[in-house]
Amino acid sequence: MKAIKILTLAVIILGTINSNAQETEKLPNTVENQFKELYKKSNNYQIYKVIKKNDFLALQKSTLDSVHTLKKSINTKEKQINQHLTSIKELQAKIKNLNTDLSTSIAKEDAISFLGIQLKKGTYNTILWSIIIGLFTALAFFVYKFNNSNTVTRETKDLLLETEEEFETHKKKAIEKEQKLRRQLQDEINKQRGV
């Protein structure tokens, strides 16, 4: 019987040592684990749990420290978020300005100033080629008219020369005829006087 008592006592002691060893293997020191630990350590009184004041105050201090740390962390994160938001707004403003500058540059590159008016390159090319084609058409028309007029002028000059030659010939003949008529007249006058 003594052996059974010793054996029972040894089992109880080993069980206590084992439970103490398990208790020393603490979980991470989180608020939740501290509440669980406090609940385990508390005593029962009827349907109530009795907690030691020191354990309660330690839990309260630990909880308040955790809340304070969380508030600090939240404030730090809020400051970082505000900085990031400010940075995002600045970057968005820069992007907007760059897009505006890019649009202006593209518009300037795609436009040509013609007579003080900004025109797209396609419109400018159309106007320019229309002017060039119009000028070539006008040049061709004036060359045709010039050649036509030049031909008419040459023909007219040739006719004028022929007419002048005919006129000179006619004039000479008329002068000769007139001279002949005067001689005849003079001869007749002389015959009449001499009669």
Q: Apex CA 146: angle with CA 142 and CA 149, to 5°? A: 135
Asked if pLDDT for residue 6 goes beyond 80, the answer is no
The pTM is what? 0.42
Read off the pLDDT of residues 36-79 as tens digits, 9 standing for 90 and up. 787 787 777 777 777 777 877 787 888 888 888 889 999 999 99
- The tally of CA atoms less than 13 A away on the side-chain side of residue 129 is 5
Annotated domain spans of the chain:
23-108, 122-194
Give the pLDDT band of residue 188 (cuts 50, 70, 90): confident
Q: What is the DSSP string of 89-146?
A: HHHHHHHHHHHHHHHHHHHHHTEEEETTEEEEHHHHHHHHHHHHHHHHHHHHHHHHHH
Asked if pLDDT for residue 24 goes beyond 50, the answer is no
Asked if pLDDT for residue 30 goes beyond 80, the answer is no
Tell me which residue of 59, 53, 2, 5 sits closest to 30, measured CA to CA: 59
Asked if pLDDT for residue 143 goes beyond 90, the answer is yes
Instruction: Give dist(CA 32, CA 38) in Å, integer.
Output: 10
Is the Cα dihedral 163, 168, 174, 176 positive or negative?
A: negative
